[in-house]
A and B are shown apart, each in its own frame.
Chain A
Amino acid sequence: MLLIYCPYCQVERAETEFHCGGEAHIARPADPSKASDEDWVEFLYMRTNTKGIAAERWRHNNGCGRFFNAVRDTVSDKFLKFYKAGEPMPDLEAIAKEAGK
């Protein structure tokens, strides 16, 4: 059971309080009517499924209810960063480097 830090509650809690929401930073096109079919399919279905350092969405659904993002090494399950929704995607390469990956 993972240990997850909620950047809103500012505490670490067990995974059972959270729900993983998949890859982070996939924005819904601002004007969907202008999106091509390919763009829309990309938005709906295409995910990188990273083996290694990846940013993903989590929701503290049995806590404050907030969505936030986390950088996790999908191989080791180590979390490397937690940040609030709306904050820009951190430099994953720099984080990976710092983590010695």
Chain B
Amino acid sequence: MSQPFRTEKGGRIDRAEQLSFTFDGEEMHGHKGDTLASALLANGVHLVGRSFKYHRPRGIISAGSEEPNALVGVYRHGDQTPNLRATQVELYQGLEAISQNRFPSLGFDIGAVNDSLSRFFPAGFYYKTFMWPKSFWDRVYEPIIRAAAGLGKPPKNPDQDSYGNIYAHCDVLIVGSGPTGLAAALAAAETGAKVILCDEQAEFGGTLLSETSASIDGKEPADWVTETIAKLSAMDNVTLLTRTTAYGYFAHNFIALAERVTEHVSKPDPKLPRERLWQVRAKEVVIAAGSIERPMVFPENDRPGILLAEAGRTYLNRYGVKVGHKVLVATACDTAWQAAFDLADHGVEVAAIADMREAPPENLVSIANARGIRVESGCVVTGTLGRKRVKAALLGRLMTSGQVASAGQIECDALLMSGGWTPTVSLYSQSRGKVVWDAEKGAYVPGKSVQNERSAGAAKGLYGLQASLEDGYAAGEEAAKAATGKSAKVTYAASTGGDAGSGGTLGAIPHDRNASTVKAFVDYQNDVTAKDVKLAVREGMQSIEHIKRYTTTGMATDQGRLSNMNALQIASGALQRPMTEVGLTTFRQPYTPTTFGLFAGVARGDFFDPVRKTPSHEWVVKNGGVFEDVGQWKRTWYFPKNGEDMHAAVARECKTVRDSVGLFDASTLGKIEVVGPDAAEFLERMYTNPWKKLAPGRCRYGLLLNDAGYITDDGVIGRLADDRFHVTTTTGGAPSVFSTMEDYLQTEWPDLDVWITSTTEQYAVAAVQGPKAREVIAPFIEGIDLSADAFPHMSVKEGTFCGVPCRLFRISFTGELGFEINVPRRHGKMMWETLAKEIEKYDGTTYGTESMHVLRAEKGYIIVGQDTDGTVTPQDAGMTWAIGKKKLDFVGKRGLERPDMIADNRKQFVGLLTKDPKVKLEEGAQITAAGNPATGTPAEGHVTSSYYSPALDRNIALAVVKNGHALEGKTLYVPMPDGSIPVEVTGTVFYDKEGARINV
């Protein structure tokens, strides 16, 4: 198929390899080496999308990542990735792309009515239009806005691609591989420094790839690039990354790079990630990000066919594509002239060069004359014609009065414009550097370095090929020296051509049109016009930050890289303040839009978070247990049998534990071994309870507070020897308890001779609870006399279980006779399976966390974090018995004495019984004194735990209630949507109040 705008020869595309692709279903052809944008242009397609607000036809404007208009959807794995810049999408065989923001089609779009209605959509219209009536917001305004807003459509299916991550360190990171970046890489690499060179494009070389009128060391610039890259890739100390955008510069020279690994491949290898996040710590950074050409803000400057001049040159020289057959070049600076010359040399008719300067450089004029190109100086474009593609431009003559006089109309099918150049200071700005205004260059350039970086070449406003090369070498040398202290001698390449040029303009171009009706776009993607910026100022926006948010200028995906300078100039004029006083918005990460997939990386599916399993896991899976997530742990929730639902399973499990015996996996409980001569002293200081007199072989319940006096954790602590304790913590509290202990040990009491070691995963723990517990474990335990006298409640001893060493605790969280057996973790499976089989002899049951909760609630045992919320003291919880009264100090003791901790009206831990035993309260429900409290009545407290109790055959609840301890026997209410539930305040122990069952 013909590509009518393809040049005869030249460019870096592979003319031998033809690729077919579709755009909105229409099949077209391009070549290997094309971007989607260059291929579309080769096929004469300029109209590629509709604008955000007015749905105006829009075309490709740039050749790089700053592209504001040509946002397309590209299909991959049957789903589309929206909002890709066609200028960055590399062509591959079979690529399917679609245009966006149009309905029903790109050519005919209903939303385009917005354009004619644009007087109703001025800057800030969101803030004005939808203000009233308030009730319209939910039902009318928001749905309309949602339907109309946004570009592209999000993919519907889960992302089928994988995303990689790599952490890297280097001496010198160089961002950008134009002449400056390559020279910097050569200079730095030569010293032996570890260098990473990255470039967002598919090939290294930057502007050198489209520079055909210069030479470096006597070679074509592109050939010099090839040689340079070959040289660099042969060096072990150099990492070369193409298709890699440095999108974020963070603290301490931490730079994030997004590498597109298979984005450009027709049939990507599923083993490869789609993208890879490089998290780089660089000792030094060279920002060689170049500069971006500025659009000219003239009326109707957004028609398809209007491009930046250098983009036109790039399409021509790099991709072999003519942007039109008759091209008008409008400029305010020298560089665009070369685009005209190159086009003419490729046989393209140049309609004219309209330079707004009164006297463009004579040498350029004479070159133009030699090529027979019409030159108009002091001439601007004041408007354009054509609906879906520009077909003519209106010219205007700049008068000395400042007025513009019409200078007729000129036909063209493409218009190249250049308002001058803006250094890319995004990364510098992200590094928290402050840009400074350089009046001579007419640009904001990087100021003082805040981090270990330097901008070089065009990124700091230094233009011209030779100057860029030299600055690059110098930056590379300096960076390597700073990073490694080493330097090396490098021979600088010498170039000819690629001169810097001069000129440039900022702000709106003067014209002779009706200023209140024409649209001259400042920010293409967000449809912000010069008029909008002025309106924002008229409506009181003074700061550029406010103007930005009011108009949304600079808030598009390019973050204003194209628009900021023009917007600033317009705002400055409207505010009648110099531009430097208007301020500049801050560039933030990411430099270009970055996918969520890249950020998520491997953290998805099975690897979203570590899934921690206990040694019983396999057995539980096999036996139909249901798991619940407790932090990262998988714990068994309940064990349904014969089609039981959860309620039935839990009722059976609880009943079986009380009647016979139950087996529970307690492996996840935190375990800390506290060892050293001062172990008892340390625990004495950490926990509320006394420890010094606890005899080896005995255990005690320990309550841990913070220094404010609030309960933070609890657990049983066994003394194994004078200088060795086995501390248990809650499952979730294990890491924080350990860290808190280390904190006090290291920073408050470094003199104590005691050390703590986490042994959570050293042991697997099985809890055997119930009247038959002793019989169940007896056959397997050796070396421990299990009789009630020799091994009473709250004992610990070391022995063996089935021949493997164990630590046996006689403790109970159920109120029944109970044991917890700790064996080395690898024997946990054996222990579990042995006991699970043994309990069958007693019609016992395995039980899960839900039954564990019910059983403990029947006994009124608290669960830290459920019944306490960080504001509950031991007094509040009715646990003053756990406080060592004679202790002079422990963590939290002083806190407990503060007046507000002993004041009246504190919420206290109580039991609640619904008057109707069948009614179950909701956990978290509020409690009031009156049955039907008036609106605004503060609650007296709330329900913390609520269960059906099989032992009592009724519902029970635990709660915290103001002055609850004094309210025992009183009636309170739990107001719910369908009526208030009367409850009686009780003690917290519902079952076996005397505690007889535990001591058998």
Taking Cβ atoms with an 8 Å cutoff, the residues of A that contact B are 1-3, 14, 19, 21, 27-29, 31-33, 35, 37, 40-41, 43-44, 57, 59, 61, 65-67, 76-77, 85-86
Contact = CB atoms under 8 A, between A and B. Distances in A.
B450 A28 contact: no
A85 B746 contact: yes
B272 interface: no
B739 A61 contact: yes
Given A3-B254, A76-B450, A44 B707 contact: yes
B30 to A, nearest CB: 41
Nearest to B742: A65
Given A33-B894, A35-B894, A37-B898, A1 B746 contact: no
Contact of B742 (A14, A67, A77): A67
A54 B452 CA distance: 22
In the A-B complex, the 6 residue pairs with the smallest Cβ-Cβ separation, listed nearest first, are A32-B894, A3-B252, A77-B251, A67-B746, A1-B254, A28-B748
Nearest to B900: A37
Nearest to A37: B898
A1 B250 contact: yes
A14 B281 CA distance: 9
Nearest to B735: A61
Contacts of A66: 746
A44 B251 CA distance: 31
A37 B900 CA distance: 10
A33 B894 CA distance: 6
A76 B432 CA distance: 8
B279 interface: yes
Given A1-B251, A3-B251, A28-B748, 13 more contacts: A1-B254, A2-B251, A3-B252, A21-B743, A27-B748, A35-B894, A59-B739, A65-B742, A67-B742, A77-B251, A85-B747, A85-B750, A86-B750
Contacts of A28: 707, 748
Interface string B847-870: 000000000000000000000000
Contact of B889 (A32, A41, A67): A32
Contacts of B432: 76
A77 B708 CA distance: 30
A3 B750 contact: no
Interface residues of B, number: 26
B513 to A, nearest CB: 48
B733 interface: no
A3 B750 CA distance: 27
A24 to B, nearest CB: 9
Interface in B242-266: 250-254
A38 to B, nearest CB: 10
Contacts of B281: 3, 14
A86 B708 CA distance: 23
Contacts of B743: 21, 59, 67
Nearest to B899: A37
B894 A67 contact: no
B888 interface: yes
Contacts of A31: 889
B31 interface: no
B893 interface: yes
A29 to B, nearest CB: 8
Contact of A67 (B250, B747, B893, B898): B747
Contact of B708 (A29, A44, A59, A85): A44
A33 to B, nearest CB: 6
24 contacts: A1-B251, A1-B252, A1-B254, A1-B279, A2-B251, A3-B252, A14-B167, A21-B743, A28-B748, A31-B889, A32-B889, A43-B707, A44-B707, A59-B743, A61-B739, A65-B742, A67-B746, A67-B747, A76-B450, A77-B251, A77-B252, A85-B747, A86-B747, A86-B750
A23 to B, nearest CB: 13
Nearest to B890: A32
Nearest to B745: A67
A32 B253 CA distance: 44
A33 B889 contact: yes
B913 to A, nearest CB: 38
Contacts of B739: 19, 59, 61
A56 to B, nearest CB: 13
A57 B279 CA distance: 26
B895 interface: yes
Nearest to A61: B739
A56 B167 CA distance: 27
A55 to B, nearest CB: 13
B899 A32 contact: no
B182 to A, nearest CB: 28
A40 B894 contact: yes
A14 B665 CA distance: 37
Interface in B418-435: 432
Contacts of A35: 894
Interface in B152-169: 167
Contacts of A67: 742-743, 746-747
Contacts of A43: 707
B949 to A, nearest CB: 39
A2 B250 CA distance: 8
Contacts of B899: 37
A37 B948 CA distance: 44
A21 B893 CA distance: 22
A2 B252 CA distance: 6
A19 B962 CA distance: 37
Contacts of A65: 742
Given A1-B250, A14-B281, A31-B889, A44 B746 contact: no
Contacts of A27: 748
Interface in B886-928: 888-889, 893-895, 898-899
A64 B649 CA distance: 46
Nearest to B888: A33
A14 B746 CA distance: 22
Contacts of B250: 1
Nearest to B256: A1
B456 to A, nearest CB: 23
A59 B736 CA distance: 13
Interface in B706-722: 707-708
B742 to A, nearest CB: 6
- Between B167, B281, B894, B899, the greatest number of chain A beta carbons within 10 A of the residue's beta carbon is seen for B894
Nearest to A21: B743
Interface in B514-543: none
Contacts of A33: 888-889, 893-894
A54 to B, nearest CB: 16
A32 B893 contact: yes
B611 to A, nearest CB: 19
Contacts of A1: 250-252, 254, 279
A86 B889 CA distance: 22
A61 B889 CA distance: 27
A40 B251 contact: no
Nearest to A66: B746
Contacts of B707: 28, 43-44
A33 B747 CA distance: 20
A40 B747 contact: no
A47 B708 CA distance: 15
A92 B250 CA distance: 25
Contacts of B747: 57, 67, 85-86
B219 to A, nearest CB: 41
Nearest to B739: A61
B898 A41 contact: yes
B742 A59 contact: yes
Nearest to A34: B894
B483 to A, nearest CB: 14
Contacts of B895: 40, 44
Contacts of A2: 251-252, 254
Nearest to A57: B747
